[in-house]
């Protein structure tokens, strides 16, 4: 996997080792430990794409994605949660400046979880809205001070509503076989007042035309359409998880011999041609997935920094790369998991955990190859693409 992007967060290697040691416990607890989030906060992980005006680094998403891959190789659930919490600093930067002051004015390190499906209801009120409903899949909500919840405005279009954690309750309903440690529970709100300045319509995010993009016009990275960036952070988890599975598999089979009263008992697994092929395919697939994802992120950054608009074709290309990269990661862990034998059935086997987690990543609507690939095929065939891009 490519490693040409600099990783300026010097403590990340040490923290990654701790994350790996906690991976099984994270899954059992069904949430990322506060200790992990606190250490990553101190190391500056969550500042990567946050505006400099609030203490951030304004790094690009290729840097963030690469660091997410490293975390996810140690624990996919931790990579998923902390990657999203970091990416949401960029998302919050698109709200009006007053909303950003609400979030970061007193605490520049405040974190934001989110639920993107517009499932709640918003009623207009003077200078704002009353927001009610339930929002599923709010990954890392136990670690966040704020949330972005999507809902349709009374006049039709969907928007993000930015709300503090005092306004919502967390329904503990995340019991899954994949990404089990992400704490992606449900948020529940009842008549929570959201002022107008904490509303951000989807349409601006999809095109890169938002109040924050105008506020930070000196940095064209804030003009990037959301779908070119945020799903890449999720895809990075799948790639990182598969990379971690390769490391664990090599450690597992390196000196292992077959056992039992069968022909070939006592043979080294590393000498089996089928095992060699599965390893080669996994390594090549993960390397290609990382190259595709980081290449597209860099290309989109190059476009906006040249003062050009990101075209529909560019946006579709990003969506294709994100989903196809995950499909390559999925193929890699499928092959490795099939080669682990009986030992691979154990709950504490990190290869099967990665296998379950990459399957969970691939089911996200933004990364499901059947859904995204169909949209990309429509565009290539000159049809109107049906999907988010």
User: What distance in Å separates the CA atoms of residue 367 and residue 373, rounded to the nearest whole number?
Assistant: 9
Burial 352-369 (b: 16+ CB within 10 A, else e): bbbbbbbbbbbebebbbb
Residue 201 confidence (pLDDT) above 50 = yes
| All residues at 6 or more sequence positions from 308 whose CB lies less than 8 Å from its CB, including other chains | none
pLDDT for 119 equals 92
- pLDDT band for 300, please (50, 70, 90 cuts): very high
In terms of C-beta distances under 8 Å and separation of at least 24 residues, what long-range contacts does 254-260 make, across chains too? none
Q: Which two tokens stand for residue 25?
A: 């416990």
- Residues 319-354 have pLDDT tens digits of 999 999 999 999 999 999 988 877 778 888 899 999
Residue 257 confidence (pLDDT) above 80 = no
- Residues 269-289 have pLDDT tens digits of 788 888 999 999 999 999 999
User: What distance in Å separates the CA atoms of residue 233 and residue 277, rounded to the nearest whole number?
Assistant: 29
For the chain, give the mean pLDDT: 93
pTM: 0.94
pLDDT for 281 equals 96
| All residues at 6 or more sequence positions from 88 whose CB lies less than 8 Å from its CB, including other chains | 111, 112, 113, 114, 148
- Local structure of 295: helix, strand or coil: helix
Compute φ and ψ for 134, nearest 5 degrees.
-125, 135
- Residues 345-367 have pLDDT tens digits of 888 889 999 999 999 999 999 99
- Residues 220-238 have pLDDT tens digits of 999 999 999 999 999 999 9
Sign of CA dihedral 85, 91, 93, 98: negative
């Amino acid at each position: 996997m490519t490693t040409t992007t600099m990783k300026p967060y010097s403590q990340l290697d040490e923290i990654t080792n701790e994350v790996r040691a906690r991976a099984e416990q994270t899954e059992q607890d069904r949430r990322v430990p506060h200790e992990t989030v606190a250490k990553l906060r101190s190391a500056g992980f969550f500042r990567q794409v946050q505006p400099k005006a609030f203490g951030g680094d304004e790094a690009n998403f290729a840097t963030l994605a690469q660091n997410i891959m490293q975390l996810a190789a140690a624990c996919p659930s931790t990579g998923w949660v902390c990657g999203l919490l970091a990416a949401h600093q960029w998302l919050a930067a698109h709200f009006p400046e007053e909303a950003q002051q609400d979030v970061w004015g007193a605490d520049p390190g405040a974190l934001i979880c989110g639920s993107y499906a517009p499932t709640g209801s918003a009623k207009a009120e003077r200078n704002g809205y009353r927001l009610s409903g339930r929002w599923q899949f709010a990954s890392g909500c136990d670690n966040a001070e704020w949330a972005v919840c999507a809902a349709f405005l009374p006049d039709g279009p969907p928007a993000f509503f930015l709300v503090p954690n005092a306004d919502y309750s967390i329904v503990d309903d995340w019991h899954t076989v994949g990404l089990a440690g992400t704490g992606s529970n449900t948020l529940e709100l009842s008549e929570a007042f959201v002022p107008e300045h904490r509303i951000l319509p989807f349409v601006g995010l999809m095109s890169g035309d938002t109040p924050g993009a105008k506020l930070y016009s000196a940095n064209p990275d804030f003009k990037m359409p959301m779908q070119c960036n945020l799903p890449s952070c999720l895809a990075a988890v799948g790639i990182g998880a598969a990379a971690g599975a390769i490391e664990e598999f090599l450690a597992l089979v390196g000196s292992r011999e077959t056992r039992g009263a069968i022909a070939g008992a006592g043979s080294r697994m590393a000498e089996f041609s089928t095992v060699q092929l599965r390893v080669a395919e996994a390594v090549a697939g993960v390397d290609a997935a990382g190259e595709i994802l980081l290449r597209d992120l860099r290309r989109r950054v190059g476009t906006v920094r040249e003062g050009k608009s990101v075209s529909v074709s560019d946006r579709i290309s990003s969506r294709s790369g994100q989903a196809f990269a995950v499909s390559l990661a999925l193929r890699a862990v499928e092959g490795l998991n099939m080669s682990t034998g009986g030992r691979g059935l154990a709950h504490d086997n990190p290869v099967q955990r990665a296998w379950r987690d990459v399957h969970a990543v691939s089911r996200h609507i933004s990364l499901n190859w059947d859904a995204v690939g169909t949209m990309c095929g429509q565009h290539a065939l000159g049809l109107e693409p049906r999907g988010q891009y």
